[in-house]
């Protein structure tokens, strides 16, 4: 289906099912409510076929261009039917499965993710491993029964809801750095996994500590090559900075629009509003070009770090304005609308941390795009 026809069909479907699709809570909701809403909307969009479009047929999709996925997430976010951050998780995780999992596994699992039947999580970060992903320590040992995993992950978003996890493990020697990492697809109900949710600053148990004690993973759950996990992580990052960010821009657009209509006269500096608007439009222009390159079959790479810096800068500029124009609501409002502005203002502070920090993006730009060589 072409993009224009898809837009018409999706819009009509959303209009028709407006009541059933709508959130049944006011304001930010609890994470339980957000996840339930997400599963409902994804389930309905999957049954209607829309959620399968833009994904390859061998993984249960209906084919077609990535632009269809980009539009679906954009419009679901614009209509405030899903929370963009958790909606976009499949954009990060499904491509990894499709490109690296054994074909039958991808065909079996990806539809469960897209239909909202399952939530998946991403186990990369560890207590000792944040920006320096190549230093991760969570150990996987080869045994006849399968890979035996021992270690700890942290900041694993939605782990308490997740049925599966894309996990990075250390299979080489501790010194093997990025050469000794292996990616695996884990069932979260495997014996030996303990999940401890952590309350984050914005008031939700968004992420978790996850402990792996002698967890056994079947040998055929390796993604890509043994010791080849680094390249999977690197291939995945540009996806993390493309369609998911287009969805995020739709959310920022909605919130900036709501802010300028809600902020009392005289509370916002027009120059700051102009700057934030320019930034968001520039991001959308750039992200749209990225979407089109993806649709034309190009491979994305380090240049998506520019997209990531731009969206994070725009998000923080917009929510800095929220803290000005709606400052009293953010600070002392206890009604659901204020609580939502507050939670989202706080969440925006993480925009330069997750998905590769702002500094790491600048390091990538300096090294890969500007050719400045080593930083030593």
Ligand X SMILES: Cc1cc2nc3c(=O)[nH]c(=O)nc-3n(C[C@H](O)[C@H](O)[C@H](O)COP(=O)(O)OP(=O)(O)OC[C@H]3O[C@@H](n4cnc5c(N)ncnc54)[C@H](O)[C@@H]3O)c2cc1C
d(CA 317, CA 321): 6
The interface partner of residue 207, options being another protein, ligand X, none and the CB cut-off 5 to 8 Å by kind, is: ligand X
Please, which residue, 6 or 120, has the CB nearer to another protein? 6
Output the smallest distance, CB 271 to another protein, in A: 5
Nearer to another protein, 144 or 375 (CB): 375
| Chain residues that interact with another protein, rule: CB under 8 A | 3, 67, 70-71, 74, 246, 253, 256-257, 260-261, 263, 265, 268-275, 277-279, 281-286, 288-289, 291, 306, 309-310, 313, 359, 361-363, 365-367, 369-376
> Coil, strand, or helix at residue 100?
helix
The Cα–Cα gap between 337 and 325 comes to 14
Nearer to ligand X, 142 or 362 (CB): 362
Q: Measured between alpha carbons, how far is 261 from 333 in angstroms, rounded to an integer?
A: 18
Cβ-based nearer residue to ligand X, 211 or 354: 354
Place of tokens 């419009």: 75
> What's the min distance (Å) between Cβ of 61 and another protein?
19
Give which of another protein, ligand X, none residue 239 binds (C-beta under 5 to 8 Å, depending on kind).
none
CA–CA distance, 360 with 294 (Å, rounded to integer): 23
Distance CA 273, CA 69 (A): 30
Q: Answer with the entry of ligand X, another protein, none that 70 interacts with (C-beta below 5 to 8 A by kind).
A: another protein
Least distance between another protein and beta carbon 136 (Å) = 23
Task: Indicate which of ligand X, another protein, none lies near residue 350 (CB less than 5 to 8 Å, by partner kind).
Answer: ligand X
Specify the residue, 45 or 351, whose C-beta has the smaller distance to ligand X. 351
- Residue numbers of the site for ligand X (CB under 6 A)? 121-125, 130-131, 155-157, 206-207, 350, 353-354, 357, 359-360, 363
What is the 3-class SS of 161-211, one letter each residue?
Answer: CCCEEEEEEECCCHHHHHHHEEEEEEECCCCCEEEEEECCCCCCCCEEEEE
- Yes or no: say if 280 and 249 are a contact pair by the CB < 8 Å rule: yes
- Kindly state the tokens that stand for 277: 């608007």
With CB under 5 to 8 Å by kind, the binding choice for 19 among another protein, ligand X, none is none
- Other C-beta atoms within 10 Å of 359: how many? 11
For 159, list phi and psi in degrees, rounded to 5: -60, -30
Least Å distance, CB 363 to ligand X, is 5
């Amino acid at each position: 289906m072409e993009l224009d026809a898809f837009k018409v069909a999706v819009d009509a479907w959303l209009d028709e099912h407006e009541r059933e699709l709508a959130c049944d809570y006011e304001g930010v909701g609890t994470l339980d409510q957000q996840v339930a809403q997400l599963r409902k909307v994804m389930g309905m969009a999957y049954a209607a076929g829309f959620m399968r479009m833009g994904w390859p047929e061998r993984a249960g999709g209906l084919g077609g261009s990535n632009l269809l996925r980009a539009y679906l997430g954009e419009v679901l976010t614009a209509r405030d039917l899903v929370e963009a951050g958790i909606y976009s998780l499949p954009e990060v995780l499904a491509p990894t499965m499709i490109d690296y999992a054994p074909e039958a596994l991808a065909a079996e699992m990806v539809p469960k993710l897209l239909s909202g039947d399952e939530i998946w999580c991403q186990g990369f970060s560890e207590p000792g491993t944040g920006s320096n992903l190549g230093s991760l320590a969570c150990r996987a040992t080869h045994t006849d029964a399968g890979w035996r995993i021992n270690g700890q992950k942290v900041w694993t978003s939605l782990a308490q809801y997740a049925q599966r996890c894309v996990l990075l493990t250390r299979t080489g020697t501790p010194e093997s750095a990025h050469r000794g990492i292996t990616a695996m697809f884990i069932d979260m109900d495997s014996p030996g996994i303990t999940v401890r949710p952590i309350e984050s600053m914005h008031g939700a148990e968004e992420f978790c500590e996850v402990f792996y004690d002698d967890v056994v993973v079947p040998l055929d759950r390796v993604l890509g090559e043994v010791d080849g996990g680094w390249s999977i992580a690197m291939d995945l990052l540009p996806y993390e900075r493309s369609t998911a960010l287009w969805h995020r821009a739709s959310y920022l657009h909605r919130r900036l629009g709501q802010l300028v209509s809600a902020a009392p006269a005289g509370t916002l500096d027009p120059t700051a509003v102009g700057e934030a608007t320019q930034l968001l439009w520039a991001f959308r222009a750039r992200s749209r070009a990225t979407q089109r390159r993806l649709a034309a079959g190009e491979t994305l790479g380090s240049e998506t770090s520019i997209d990531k810096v731009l969206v994070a800068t725009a998000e923080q500029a917009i929510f800095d304005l929220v803290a000005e124009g709606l400052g009293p609501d953010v600070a002392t409002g206890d009604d659901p609308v204020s609580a939502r502005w507050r939670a989202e203002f706080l969440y925006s502070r993480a925009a330069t941390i997750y998905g590769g920090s702002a500094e790491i993006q600048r390091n990538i730009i300096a090294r890969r795009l500007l050719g400045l060589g080593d930083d030593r």
